[in-house]
RNA sequence: CGGGAAGUGGCGCAGCUUGGUAGCGCACCUGCUUUGGGAGCAGGGGGCCGCGGGUUCAAAUCCCGCCUUCCCGACCA
């Protein structure tokens, strides 16, 4: 390929709306172009990167025995009603009204794959089955961001497994899990599988594949000691020793007008002369359980509530005679279930709302002034919390989710009468499913973030995803020397050797040529210069390791191809 | 959905306070010179100033309403 033939025009100015360096790079290098918020075109360069990622996904999934298929993007709303997810995912569903009924643009494909596969799964003899597709998904995200990181239309590689029981489902899960690790290695990402929360997909065991990155929207907790890793939503802190409650004090109530909420309450109490701090306030938050019952959650004032599964924060109108902003646990046991985080055992006494407008009480003791029905992890883990397995301090890592694998079990098949197979002894049972997703369009952004310059003006793509592995450029060239001819010949030989090469053949200054090639991001540059040519040498740059070597012209193609192999093997 | 910022040639911005016939850099076109790291000179083309209404002799500029985009948060396979 020649640069003169590329659809390529580099942009010198930083696009105003791009914050992340990867986003800037992808725009400046003409990889992508925004059509509207959260919707992007892939221009030829970007599409090449994307296609290379897709091919790797295909190769690795084929290798573990999954079959590629293609499901529709347009779904009749009925299949979503059947699983109840038309309501559950209503806020992200794009609806389409057609002349022949209502449709949904698929945000995910569990329902669709069941419809597609069920007729072929009649008997235990038909199982297990692993399938996947690479398909465009639509989600009406409340907030698209960071270019390709979170978009409303994106491509996902989603896989599904069908099995006779839990054990075989786990074996299928393991096959996808291993393929995922291979895929991320090959695209050059260090993706760490972490325990995760199942979200609206449902199901049991699941892992997120997280890449530590400054543009991450997630955090996961990691224990350096024992290797425990979990998404912040799923992570639990280990137990800490409780302390005895204070016997020698009594609760004191202070007047704290206009001080709802922990921060202002602390200030008001301090002004009133009480000895309190944010960490010694007890946050009392009203939750609504699945059956609509009220639950009071207790946690330290400096902690964030991790709303337990199936519950939600109560709305103002549901709070009845609870005094919003002044709720305390004292005297409440008879009317609500009281849940408390184990941290509530780690202080001799607490300050809290006094259950009446404008006053707080200090010196409340667990078991004396208030009681707890059940202890349960209620707080979001923080940096330095103890590991639940070994007690060592956890660290929080900002990260991007590039993949997610779920053991769904019977979550969907159990709801659908036709999602069944016959067992050896003739019973009809729902099959066990797993589902697996990779955010394909997100991957180039994460790679660009990791392998690009902080200024968003250069990148060295990992070999297997680079649009062109080698860029050949002649410099110091005048039309009457043979720099151009040598550069062209090397380009042709490298291509013939099976390594994709790009020839800079435009009539531009050296500076422009080099800057542009740095945006295109070949990991290997081959620089043919008038000076070195005088000594029959050319320059080979390994941009991944920032190494430059001079080699004789005749040896250059072989040297470049060898370097390309070396870089490839580093990612396998 | 809350909080903040911004919409002016393709891109990045100035002009708006104090209304008076729209400007700069990049990119683009023509010519000449240049070519080991975003070249120089000369000439040239391109703009319902986000949309709608209002005030005024006159609106990019003042007033009202709306739309869009970005950032933070809420939310989130």
What pLDDT, on the 0 to 100 scale, is given for residue A136?
A: 95
Summarize pLDDT for A225-258 with one digit per residue, the tens.
888 888 887 888 888 888 898 888 889 999 888 8
Quick one: average pLDDT of A322-335?
83
d(CA A61, CA A178): 9
Phi-psi region of A509 (alpha: psi -120 to 50; beta: other; left: phi over 0): beta
d(CA A41, CA A34): 6
Quick one: average pLDDT of A344-359?
90
Note whether A349 and A319 are within 8 A (CB): no
Which CA-bearing residue is nearest the C1' of B73? A143
DSSP string, A134-202: EEEEE---S--BTTTTB-SEEEEEEEEEEESSHHHHHHHHHHHHHHHHHHHHHTT--EEEEE---GGG-
Which CA-bearing residue is nearest the C1' of B1? A142
Residue A298: name the closest of A361, A224, A360, A378 by CA: A378
Is there a cis peptide before residue A128, judged by omega within 30 degrees of 0? yes
pLDDT greater than 80 at residue A213: yes
A255 or A50, greater pLDDT: A50
Summarize pLDDT for A252-282 with one digit per residue, the tens.
999 888 877 787 888 888 888 888 888 888 9
* HEC letters along A199-244: HHHCCCCEEEEEEECCCCCEEEEEECCCCCEEECCCCCCCCCCCCC
Summarize pLDDT for A77-103 with one digit per residue, the tens.
999 999 999 988 888 899 888 888 899
Domains belonging to chain A, first-starting first, are 13-74+106-234+396-447 (3.30.930.10), 252-375 (3.90.960.10), 468-569 (3.40.50.800)
Nucleotide nearest to A436 (CA to C1'): B77
Confidence of residue A186 (pLDDT cuts 50, 70, 90): very high
Place of tokens 């944010």: A278
> Nucleotides of chain B within 7 Å of a protein C-beta?
1, 11-13, 25-27, 34-39, 68-77
d(CA A54, CA A57): 5
A482 or A128, greater pLDDT: A128
Confidence of residue A202 (pLDDT cuts 50, 70, 90): low
Q: How far is the CA of A470 from the C1' of B13 (A)?
A: 37
Q: How far is the CA of A568 from the C1' of B36 (A)?
A: 29
A14 or A446, greater pLDDT: A446
What pLDDT, on the 0 to 100 scale, is given for residue A480?
A: 54
What pLDDT, on the 0 to 100 scale, is given for residue A100?
A: 86
Q: In what order do the strands lie in the sheet with A337-340?
A: A312-313, A282-288, A294-300, A337-340, A374-375
Place of tokens 């279930």: A337
What pLDDT, on the 0 to 100 scale, is given for residue A357?
A: 85
A308 or A543, greater pLDDT: A543
Confidence of residue A18 (pLDDT cuts 50, 70, 90): confident
Summarize pLDDT for A510-567 with one digit per residue, the tens.
999 999 999 999 999 999 998 888 899 999 999 999 999 999 999 999 999 999 999 9
pLDDT greater than 70 at residue A126: yes
pLDDT greater than 60 at residue A509: yes
| Rounded alpha-carbon distances, angstroms, from residue A84 to A95, A429, A451 | 15, 21, 42
Nucleotide nearest to A139 (CA to C1'): B76
Residue A437: name the closest of A190, A124, A179, A148 by CA: A179
Confidence of residue A32 (pLDDT cuts 50, 70, 90): very high
To which H or E segment does residue A132 belong? strand A129-138
Nucleotide nearest to A11 (CA to C1'): B11
Quick one: average pLDDT of A421-434?
96
Quick one: average pLDDT of A10-17?
82
A430 or A277, greater pLDDT: A430
Q: How far is the CA of A435 from the C1' of B61 (A)?
A: 58
What pLDDT, on the 0 to 100 scale, is given for residue A42?
A: 93
pLDDT greater than 80 at residue A430: yes
Nucleotide nearest to A515 (CA to C1'): B38
Average pLDDT of chain A is: 90
Confidence of residue A144 (pLDDT cuts 50, 70, 90): confident
Q: How far is the CA of A372 from the C1' of B34 (A)?
A: 82
End-to-end CA distance of chain A: 27
What pLDDT, on the 0 to 100 scale, is given for residue A200?
A: 56
pLDDT greater than 90 at residue A481: no
Q: How far is the CA of A320 from the C1' of B70 (A)?
A: 41
Q: How far is the CA of A9 from the C1' of B3 (A)?
A: 37
Residue A298: name the closest of A349, A339, A351, A241 by CA: A339
């Amino acid at each position: 390929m020649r640069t003169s033939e590329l659809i390529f025009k580099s942009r010198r100015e930083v696009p105003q709306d791009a914050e992340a360096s990867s986003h800037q790079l992808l725009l400046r290098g003409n990889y992508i172009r925004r059509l509207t918020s959260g919707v992007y075109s892939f221009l030829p360069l970007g599409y090449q990167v994307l296609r290379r990622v897709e091919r790797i996904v295909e190769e690795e999934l084929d290798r573990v025995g999954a079959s590629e298929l293609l499901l529709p993007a347009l779904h009749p709303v009925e299949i979503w009603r059947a699983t109840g997810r038309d309501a559950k995912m209503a806020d992200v569903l794009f609806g389409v009204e057609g002349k022949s009924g209502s449709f949904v643009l698929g945000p995910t494909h569990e329902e669709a794959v069941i419809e597609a596969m069920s007729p072929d799964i009649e008997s235990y003899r038909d199982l297990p089955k692993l399938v996947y597709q690479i398909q465009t998904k639509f989600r009406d995200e409340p907030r698209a961001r960071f270019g390709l990181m979170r978009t409303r239309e994106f491509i996902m590689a989603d896989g599904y497994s069908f099995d006779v029981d839990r054990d075989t489902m786990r074996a299928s899960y393991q096959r996808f899990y291993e393929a995922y690790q291979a895929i991320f290695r090959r695209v050059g990402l260090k993706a760490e599988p972490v325990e995760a929360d199942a979200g609206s997909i449902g199901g049991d065991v699941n892992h997120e594949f997280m890449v530590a990155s400054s543009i991450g929207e997630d955090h996961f907790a990691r224990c350096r000691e024992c290797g425990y890793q979990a998404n912040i939503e799923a992570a639990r802190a280990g137990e800490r020793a409780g302390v005895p409650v204070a016997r020698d004090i009594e609760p004191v109530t202070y007047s704290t007008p206009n001080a709802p909420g922990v921060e202002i309450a602390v200030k008001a109490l301090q002004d009133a002369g009480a000895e309190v701090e944010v960490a010694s306030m007890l946050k009392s938050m009203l939750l609504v359980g699945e059956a609509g019952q009220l639950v009071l959650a207790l946690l330290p004032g400096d902690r964030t509530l991790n709303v337990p599964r199936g519950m939600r924060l109560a709305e103002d109108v549901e709070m009845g005679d609870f005094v919003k902003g002044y709720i305390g646990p004292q005297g409440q046991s008879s009317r609500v279930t009281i849940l408390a985080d184990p941290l509530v055992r780690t202080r001799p006494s607490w300050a809290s709302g006094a259950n009446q407008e404008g006053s707080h009480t200090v010196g409340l003791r667990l078991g004396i002034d208030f009681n707890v029905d059940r202890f349960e992890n209620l707080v979001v883990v923080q940096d330095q919390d103890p590991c639940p397995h070994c007690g060592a301090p956890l660290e929080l890592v900002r990260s991007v989710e590039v993949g997610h694998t779920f053991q769904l079990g019977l979550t969907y098949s159990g709801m659908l009468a036709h999602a069944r197979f016959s067992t050896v002894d003739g019973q009809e049972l729902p099959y066990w499913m797993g589902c697996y997703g990779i955010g394909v369009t997100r991957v180039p952004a994460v790679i660009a973030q990791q392998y690009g310059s902080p200024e968003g003006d250069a990148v060295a793509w990992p070999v297997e995803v680079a649009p062109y592995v080698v860029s050949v450029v002649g410099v110091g060239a005048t039309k009457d020397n043979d720099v151009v001819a040598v550069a062209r010949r090397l380009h042709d030989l490298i291509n013939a050797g099976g390594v994709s090469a790009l020839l800079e053949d435009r009539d531009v200054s050296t500076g422009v040529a080099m800057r542009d090639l740095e945006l295109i991001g070949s990991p290997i540059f081959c620089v043919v210069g008038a000076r070195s040519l005088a000594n029959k040498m050319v320059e080979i740059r390994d941009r991944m390791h920032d190494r430059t070597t001079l080699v004789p012209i005749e040896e250059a193609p072989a040297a470049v191809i060898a370097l390309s192999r070396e870089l490839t093997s580093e990612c396998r």
